[in-house]
Every structure is written in structure tokens, then in C-alpha cells.
Amino acid sequence: MSDRRPDWKRISAEFDRAEPDNIERYLLDQGVDPAVVPDSVGHSAAELLQVALGGEDEAPELSRYRIRERLETGGQSEIYLAERSDGVYHRTVVIKFIADRYGQELLRRQFLEEMQLLADLNHPGIVQILDGGLTENDQPWLVLDHIDGRHLDAWCSEGHLGPRDVVPLFLDLCDALDHVHRRGVVHMDLKPTNVLIKQINGTAFPVVIDFGIALRSASLKPGTKRPPFGTPGFAAPEQLAGRPVDQRADIWSMGMMLAQVLTRGRCDNIGLLEANKRQTLLRKQGVPADLIDVITTCTRERPGDRYPSMDTLRTDLNNWRHDYPLIANRNRPLHVAAKSVRRHPLIFATALLVLASAAAFTGKYTRDIHELQQRTLAEKTAGDALLNFISNDLFERLVQIGRVDVLQLVAERSLAHLGAQDQRTYDAAAWLQTAIAYTNAGKVFDALEVSDQALAAFDQALLHLRQIEQSAGHRRPYLRQAATVHTAMGRTLATEGQGERTESSLLRALELADRLITEFPDEDEDLLWEAHIQLGWHYMEYGRPDEADAHIAAAMATAQRRSAPDQDGLRIPAWTLNLSQAWQARAWHAFDYGAEADALAAIGDALSLARLTLEFDHEDIEYLDNYRILLNQQAFLMLRTGRTRSADEAITEAIATGERLQILTPENRKYQRELAYSYTTAGEAAEQQGDLEAALGFYQRSLELSGDIAQADPAGYSSANDYAIDLTRTAHILIRKGQEPQARELLNEAVNLMRPIQRGEPDNKYYLHSLAVPLILLGRYDEARPLVDAVRAAGLNDAEFTALLSEHGLD
Amino acid sequence: MGMNPEHITRLLNRSPDDLTRDEAADMEAIYQRLKKIARIQRVKIRNGQLNTTALVNEAWIKSRGKNGAFADRNHFFAYCALAMRHILFTQARRNKLITYVDDDQALDRHPVYQQSDYLLELERHLASLREFSPRLEQVFTYRFFGEMPFDAIAAVLKMSERTALRDWKKARTMLAVALEK
């Protein structure tokens, strides 16, 4: 365009100066054929005009095609081989009539829009939609490119293709499907017979055909329950169950197709085998273990456990092809590293180098430290310090918005690089910065709930810190960092349920924090406060009220001193928050071991302080979250003491705050969980007041939220558990309202969800409980009975549970 | 057609690609009308050319009887010109959607296929022309796609007939130079 502009400017100027009488001549003088732009479009595009406007007499567009033969009649479509026969084009096409099964829901306009969407999916690996529309009877029809080729499985088995030949075909398939997914379309019917292999310049190239289901599914009215369809074995379980699907349904199908093709016709439909039998068959067929891992990752029951996208699957297939470690094993980096080093030391070293050069900071690590002069080391340490500072700050922010996952790669890489350094050249500053880096990595893993890696990183941090324990010049940072590591470790250990180790770690943190403040009185006391408050919670959890009380009191004293207004009447916001949290701990202590009235009073104090923090900054995510949690707990306590109306007020405010946080941090699942909890409490309040309708509304909103969380949480047994509990709770109300069939549907979903989880972790008492209750409500007593016994043995049979048992005659 | 002159003028200032759904539906209505007239009148190709003027005139007479939505005949002509451009562009793009497995060389030489190429190319240059001067693009569209007389163009765009003629010559020259490159 830019090269045309000067011409245009010149022409415009010339015309303004003296307009030529005869522009034909003017153009010829410029060496331009005037016929290029004639007087009217009728002169330059007559035939096109005729096609566009000539209009065959009320002939449907279909009349352009002459049907040659019928190819197949499936349950849902008729397919014909045809020729375009309007005398304009001569080509062979496939015409497909889609059965009008969901015709009532099919809106004409929507169908045409969706067809356009598919027509725009221009990719060599996707059959091109040439034309389409609705017949007079509203039956959708499509005209597709005719691909003259074999089906994927026939091609592979006839050619006796092994994994090395098959995987490149799947790489091409991943590309095509990635293209499709990025445009918001899910195929939903991938199977070997829907992939044709065509030859392009003697090279086999797979083409995905038949977007029939994708089309029909996309044409449903929003909110309409999608009828279950798809090919058993190749269609993902959520699709067959009629639940919402996304691109991960296609990932499942890809895994099954890969398995099917690699078993070379030993099995008609490998997808119908149970997972372990499938793996056995694949092993027997000599399929490489890593490819089996890829297949397994594709075909996990829960979509969140599969590859998230086609490009990650593609990466792993490519990794396999080049003997790189798989993403599928990313939660086992040591395993991966060991395997890779064992297999290909040279490639692995090269890969590390490549990774390293990708990031400017980490590049420093890979230089050969033997040759580093003191100066370079100082520079490196300064770089580390900067990186640590950045990641510390970044970490806090990412935790708040719920996106720590973006740091996972950074953490893994920094661990790999830290491990590769030569420690003989370290000075004290390097030891310290490396320890901080390990601590940061550990925090990331902890936030991602990869506890064993978090603990390993913290151990490394402590080992590094030991090197500077005796260094007088680094006394202060040593104490500070060591206390930090021990506190963080205590937190991770607590989530792992390791009581004794939690205690000793926190006590060590307390000791170090205490020494820090004694030796350096100008230090902030936050580490000391943190150790006390955590010990308080720890002792409460393990039923040691006196020790808990002592630590909470100590935390409270520190916080009170530090949050007191100065001579200008100003408070330090962070310490006001800490004091609020100390009151919260006191409230729970009172609730567990004292009087409920004291608990309510303490929560009230905590809330007043929380309101103060919001006066400092009413948009601060942490303050808002603290405020909302306290409101939730206040409402809970009020409900317990029968103060339903006050509880209502608290919970309304909690919900409003929660919805605000939801807008500020849409990806923070913990916050979302807390909001779901608000709705649950609101539902309980409504239930107590006998307003079943309102209760149902609240429970359903909670159910929606926990459904979202369960879907978004990749690993999450506990999110699935929360979801199952909400399903059961909602079902319970439905039963009371006499809506038995809807209730049964929800209960069945809860059972189906919890069963594999309970099998996965048979000793978890909460999962036992979450499976037992819906089974009882469904009247499936035989299945429930062993679970009930286990729940009883675990001591989870509270009043509610006991009441349920007697109601169903199970006591 | 339920449109007021301001709306039409606004519409006329837009490229076919920027039409809203409703506007596209209006275009579609005009398209259907043009097609229907073409069919009823059995508009013949004269010397290989379709007589668009006859078509639009006929459309105007038919539409006047039904409602007086269009300010005047000139605005309706302008509207039809834009519709024609839109129709042809859509048809051309649709033709180009087709991909070929068996490389049919004869097809590339087929007039409809070539003209589709031409139209798409022209559309691209019209987009740049609008950036250069929206007025030039409008004059060109009315004349080239609608065969509007210059006094009608002048009336719609509120300019002198002289200016309309000069703009047309200018635009035609500029586009010819651009297309030849």
C-alpha cells in the first residue's frame, strides 16, 4: 500500500492542477491499460455478476451439484459423492445431509453462522467446507472437499507403521486441531475413520473430516443441555455423559486414536477396554513406555488431568520423537532429569543450555563457574539478589490473583540451574542468594500444592544457609532467612498433616525469630508474630489448648504493640491486619475450648480491625479477603448460636465482598472457594428460617462456583470433593421439596465423581463421608454400609450424619 | 426497508466488511430484490454485460410502491450501488473459498474465477482509497458499481456535478495504476 501512495498523491496533484480530458490516453501514457478499471463493473466482471445476480430460477444452491453415488448412510447422516455441475466448476465433492435429529433447536441463522465458522477453518489438515445450507425441510447439508485417501487405521496397519512413523502423523493432526480449537470449535468425533490420509508430494498427510457433531453441538441454544453423542471409546467420558466439553475432549480422542493405531488392529476399539487392560495391551505390543505415558495423560478421566491443549500434546509427542523428557512427567522433574541424563547425557546438556539461554537472568548460572573471577561472582550475586527480589514481590502478587502457576516453570528451571552450579566458588553472598532462591522455589511449589518438591527446596535452602551460619557479617540475613524457611516449611508440613515435624519446624522458626529480634532490636517483628500465630493454630488443631492459648496471646501482644497508633494517631496497616488475625485465632480458640459468646465477641473485634484495614485501602485484595473470611466465620458462629437474622446480615456482606473479589481476582480459586462457602452459609441460614426456595437458590450458586473450581483445578481431589458436597447438599433440598428425579441426578453425579477419588485415596475420611452420604440418600445401602462403618471408625459421625443414618434405618 | 436518509448515508459511508448484522440483512434484502427482478425481467446479458442500470431502476419502481423509506431515487441508487459492491465482493470471496485437491488448471482460467480475483483485489485497493480520500471512494463506488449518473452522485454527496466527474476520473485513474502494479 505504501508504495502506491506516492503515485496517488502525484496523480491527485496533477488532476487538481490540470485535469486530463481523456483519462484513457493519460493511463496509456503511464503505461497502464485503461481496461483494468472500465466504466462499470458490468464490463469487467460480467460473468461474476451473472453468477451473483443471474439467479437460477428458484433453484436451491444444491442444484449446482450432481450426485454421482451414495457413499454411506450413518445413523446421523447421508453422504453422497457428487460433482459440481453448473458448468462453472468441475470438481468432485462430498455432500452430506445431517439428520434432522435436533431440528427443533436448530435456528436457521445460527446454523448458517456456525457453518461459516467452519468454512473459515482453512487448514490443510482439515477438510474444507465448500458450501452448505438448509433444505426446504430445514435439513442441514454440507458440501465438503472430497479427499481420496485411506482411513488412518487402515493406512497405518497396511503400511505396518511403527511408532516412529505414526507419531509424525499425529504431530500434523495436533497442528490441525490446535488451529480448530483456537477458533473455539471442538471436533467431538475424532476416531480413526474420521481421519483420512492423503498424499501430498508423496508424503502422507492426515486430514480431519466430519465436523458434524461439532456443528450440531455448536448450533444448540445456549443453556440447552447437549444430548450425549459421540463414539463410545473414542469420545471423552464427559461428552458421553452430556456434560460440557472443551478441547480436552478432543485430547482424549487423540490419545485413544494413538493407542488404537499403535496396537495395529489387535483390538477393534481400544477405548472400550479398561485403562489398565489398555496399558497392558500397549506394553505387550511393544509400545514405548513414554508413549504409553502420553496416551495415559490424554485419556485421564478428569479433563483437568489431561494435556490442557493440543500444542502441549504436540510438544510431548515431539519430545518423545527427540528423546526429550515429557511434560506428562513434569511433576517428577527429578525422575525426568535422571531418565534423560541416563538416556542421552549430551542431548540433555544441550537442552539445558538452550533453556538457559532463553532467559537472560538464568543465563548467568550456566557459565562455567570455574572461570568466574571474583568480580563476575559479585555481579552474579547482585543479579541473583535482583531476581530474588523480583520473584518475591511477584510471588506475593501472583498468590493474590491466583496465578502462581505461571511461576512453576521459573521455579523448576531455577532449581535445575542452582543444582548445576559449582559451589566451590561460592562466597557468603552467593550462599545466601542461592538459599533465598531455593526458598522462593519452595514457596511456589507449596502454593501449587506440590508438597514434596516444596519440602525438598526448603531443605536445600537450609543446607545453603548452614554455610553462612558462622559468618559474622551475615548474621542478620541468616537469621531472617532461616526463620522464614522454617515458617514456610511449617506451613507446608501442616498441609501434609505431619504434626510432629510441623511443630518442630515452627518452634525452630520461633527460636530464630526471637534471636533475630534480640540481637537486632530494630528488626520488624513479623517473623516472630508469624511463628506464634502458626503455633497457635497448630496446637488448636492437635487439641493442646493451653499451648495454643499461650502462643495466640504472644502473637496478640506483639501485634497490639506494633499496631498501636503513633503520636499522630496513625496505625501501621500490616500490623492492624495481623492483630485482626490474632483476634480471629482467639475466636476459634474460644469456640473450640471456651464459650461461644467469647468467640463471637472476638470475631467482632477481628472484624472491627478488618474494617480499619479497609479504611487504609478499600481495594486491597488481602484486606478484602481477610474481611470476607471473618464475615463468613461470624455468620457461621451466629448460625450456631441461633442468631439467624444477624447471620443473614453478615453473610450478605460477605457475599457482596466476595463477588467484588471475584471481579478483582477471577482466577483465585481459593477466593472462589470462600465465596462458594458464603453462599453455602447463606443457604443454611435460609434453611434454618424454613425458606427452602431461597436456600436452594444459594446452594445452587455455591454449586456453580464449586463446579467451576473443580473444572479449573487440574489435580484437585479436594475441589472435586467440595463440588460433590455441594451436589449432595443441593440434592438434599430438592428431596425436601419433593423434586426427587432432579435430586437423584445430582446425587448420581456426586457418586460418580467421588468413587474414583475415594478409590484413589481410600484412607481419607472426608472422601469416605462425601461418597457415603449421596449413596445413602440414593437408597444404595449395600454400597453405603462399608463406607458408613469406615466413617464411624474415623470419628466423622457427627450429629447430622447420625440423624441421616437413623432416618434411613442404618444405625 | 424502514430506513431514513441519515441512516442510509451513514451506511453508505461504510465498507461492506464493517456492516452490522442488521445492515447486512438490509443488504441481503436488496440483494434478494435485485435477484428477483432479474429473474422476472429475464434480464439478458447484452454483449456479455448485465445491465445494472435497468436492474436498479426496476428495483426503485418496485420499492417505491411499498414504502417511502428512501429519501429519493438518488439515495436509493446509491444504496443499490453499495449493495452491488457488497454482493459482488461476497460472491467473489465465496468463490475463492474453494480449494482444490486435484489441481485443475483450467479453473484458474475460468472467467468467474479470474473476476473473483479481480474483485477481491479491487476491494483491497478501495479500502486504501478510502484511507486516502473517502469521497473518492464513494464517487467511484456509485459510478462503477451502480452506474449512477453524475448529477445523481452530485446530489447524494452534495457536491457539484463537475466535482463528481473529476473525482470519478481521478479515482478510476488511481485505481487503474494501483491494479496494474
Dump pLDDT digits (tens) for A270-281.
888 888 888 888
A201-206: long-range pairs with CB below 8 Å, 24+ = A204/A155, A204/A169, A205/A124, A205/A125, A205/A172, A206/A125, A206/A152, A206/A169, A206/A172, A206/A173, A206/A176
A371 pLDDT tier (thresholds 50, 70, 90): very low
Interchain pair A8, B55: CB under 8 A? no
For B112-131, what is each residue's pLDDT tens digit? 777 888 888 999 999 899 88
Averaged pLDDT for residues A289-316: 89
A113 pLDDT tier (thresholds 50, 70, 90): low
For A39-59, what is each residue's pLDDT tens digit? 877 777 777 777 776 544 333
Q: Is the pLDDT of residue A491 over 50?
A: yes
A358 pLDDT tier (thresholds 50, 70, 90): very low
A100 pLDDT tier (thresholds 50, 70, 90): low
Chain B residues close to A8, C-beta within 8 Å: 129, 132, 174, 177-178
Q: Residues B25, B26, B31, CA angle at the centre, nearest 5°?
A: 95
For A661-685, what is each residue's pLDDT tens digit? 888 887 777 788 889 989 988 998 8
Please tell me the predicted confidence (pLDDT) of residue A78: 66
Instruction: Quote the percentage of chain B above a pLDDT of 90.
Output: 23
Q: Which of A10, A26, A41, A122 to mutate to test the interface with B (most CBs of B within 10 A)?
A: A41
Instruction: Quote the percentage of chain A above a pLDDT of 70.
Output: 78
Interchain pair B176, A198: CB under 8 A? no
Please tell me the predicted confidence (pLDDT) of residue A465: 92
Q: Which of B40, B43, B174, B175 to mutate to test the interface with A (most CBs of A within 10 A)?
A: B174
CA-closest candidate to residue A296, choices A333, A258, A255, A337: A255
Q: Which residue has the higher pLDDT, A618 or A536?
A: A536
Interchain pair B166, A15: CB under 8 A? yes
- Nearest CA-CA distance, residue A57 and chain B, Å: 7
Which of the residue ranges A23-37, A106-120, A414-428, A706-720 would you say has the lowest mean pLDDT?
A: A106-120
Please tell me the predicted confidence (pLDDT) of residue B108: 57
Interchain pair B115, A89: CB under 8 A? no
Backbone angles phi, psi at A141, to 5 degrees: -135, 150
A359 pLDDT tier (thresholds 50, 70, 90): very low
- For chain A positions 137-196, those within 8 Å of chain B (CB to CB) are 145-148
A181 pLDDT tier (thresholds 50, 70, 90): confident
Sheet containing A77-84, strands listed edge to edge, beginning at the edge strand earlier in sequence: A65-73, A77-84, A92-98, A140-145, A129-134
Q: Would you give the DSSP letter of residue A299? A: T
> What secondary structure does DSSP assign to A86-123, as a single string?
SSS---EEEEEEEP-TTGGG--HHHHHHHHHHHHT---
- How far is it, in rounded angstroms, from Cα B121 to Cα B142? 18
Which of the residue ranges A432-446, A521-535, A636-650, B21-35 would you say has the lowest mean pLDDT?
A: B21-35
Which of the residue ranges A380-389, A533-542, A761-770, B35-44 would you say has the lowest mean pLDDT?
A: B35-44
Please tell me the predicted confidence (pLDDT) of residue A186: 84
Q: Is the pLDDT of residue A75 over 90?
A: no
**Type of residue numbered A644:** T
Please tell me the predicted confidence (pLDDT) of residue A393: 60
Please tell me the predicted confidence (pLDDT) of residue B147: 80
Q: Which grid coordinates belong to A151? A: 482411513
Chain A residues close to B16, C-beta within 8 Å: none
- How far is it, in rounded angstroms, from Cα A482 to Cα A475? 10
- For chain B positions 17-46, those within 8 Å of chain A (CB to CB) are 34-36, 38-39, 45
- How far is it, in rounded angstroms, from Cα A781 to Cα A772? 9
| Average pLDDT score, chain A | 79
Q: Is the pLDDT of residue A317 over 70?
A: yes
Partner-chain residue, chosen from B118, B172, B174, that has the shortest CB–CB distance to A8: B174
- Nearest CA-CA distance, residue B117 and chain A, Å: 10
> What secondary structure does DSSP assign to A13-38, as a single string?
HHHHHS--S-HHHHHHHTT--GGGS-
- How far is it, in rounded angstroms, from Cα A350 to Cα A396? 33
Question: For residue B157, is it left (φ>0), alpha (ψ between -120 and 50) or beta?
Answer: alpha
Neighbours of A322 (CB within 10 A): 9
**A103 touches B: beta carbon within 8 Å:** no
- The answer to whether A502 and A468 have CB atoms below 8 angstroms apart is no
Please tell me the predicted confidence (pLDDT) of residue B56: 62
Please tell me the predicted confidence (pLDDT) of residue A345: 39
Residue of B nearest to A123 (CA): B99
Partner-chain residue, chosen from B35, B84, B116, that has the shortest CB–CB distance to A55: B35
Q: Is the pLDDT of residue A229 over 80?
A: no
Q: Is the pLDDT of residue A336 over 90?
A: no
Interchain pair B88, A34: CB under 8 A? no
- How far is it, in rounded angstroms, from Cα A533 to Cα A500? 17
Please tell me the predicted confidence (pLDDT) of residue A161: 87
Enter the ipTM: 0.78
Backbone angles phi, psi at A738, to 5 degrees: 80, 15
Residue of B nearest to A14 (CA): B170
For A557-582, what is each residue's pLDDT tens digit? 999 999 988 887 788 888 999 999 99
- For chain B positions 97-126, those within 8 Å of chain A (CB to CB) are 97-102, 104, 106-107, 110-112, 115-116, 118-119, 122, 125
- How far is it, in rounded angstroms, from Cα A544 to Cα B1? 81
